[in-house]
Amino acid sequence: MDERTDMQRILVVEDEASLARALQLELEHEGYQVQVAGNGYEAVARASEGKWDLILLDVMLPGLDGFEVCRQVRKRSAVPIVILTAREALGDKITGLDAGADDYVAKPFAIQELLARIRARLRRSGAAHQDGDRLVVGDLVVCRDTHTVSRGGRPIALTRREFDLLAYLAENAGLVLTRDAILNRVWGFDYYGETNIVEVYIRYLRVKVDEPFPVKLLQTVRGVGYTLRES
């Protein structure tokens, strides 16, 4: 059975017209709705215009590069982002992930592999049900408009920073977020405080969100980062 819902929307950001067209045709053949942006500024504008299920983002773009596009999009959206680039250096991969990307595919690539990665990201992004400003992961409910949290119907009191961290994890439920990605998103790129601040706040959240309940949602992926999921 196909695990996608019909007509999910993908924004392809690629300045090479022939490749952009080829990707659009392949994705439309798979049943996705596709729009194309040819430069960084257009990508940021289109990303803010409507709801996207995934963004396929080239790094080498006119105007803003893909890393900066990713950072700009992450300020307002948790949409899955797959970076597509000819760069294969480890440093570029880390830069992309720290900017908020969810995956990284190097050119040249096999189209079937790319499609499989897209399907995987779309499945994972569906782990958290979003209803307007409400994020629901299992029996955990995070309301962004009122800054309230409950689990199993029981209210949970969080500080502002704890709430921001939990909301970021809930927006990306099922995805493993690196420590640096969390630090950049929740504390900001110019944070110069204690280096273990992410670990400290994860412990705070576990005490409040997990310890009183039999099912543990906050999970550590050793050597990678943290994720919020039911299993």
Cβ atoms of residues 156 and 72 within 8 Å: no
Judged on CB neighbours under 10 Å (0-12, 13-18, 19+), 137 is: buried
Cα 144 from Cα 69, distance rounded (Å): 24
Task: Please say if the pLDDT value at position 106 is more than 70.
Answer: yes
Residue written as tokens 């969390």? 182
Give ranges for CATH 3.40.50.2300 in the chain: 9-125
Locate CATH 1.10.10.10 in the chain. Answer: 129-228
Do residues 52 and 36 make contact, with C-beta atoms less than 8 angstroms apart? no
pLDDT tens per residue, range 67-91? 999 988 877 777 888 988 776 666 6
Query: Is residue 40 within a helix (H) or strand (E), and if so which, with residue range?
Result: helix 40-49
| pLDDT at residue 147 greater than cutoff 60 | yes
Task: Give the separation between CA 115 and CA 113, rounded to whole angstroms.
Answer: 5
Residues in the chain: 231
Residue pair 99/74 in contact (Cβ under 8 Å)? The answer is yes
State the CATH architecture for 129-228: Orthogonal Bundle (1.10)
CA separation for the pair 129, 144 (Å, rounded): 13
Instruction: Provide the whole-model pTM.
Output: 0.57
Mention the CATH class of domain 9-125: alpha beta
Question: With 80 as the cut, is the pLDDT of residue 47 above it?
Answer: yes
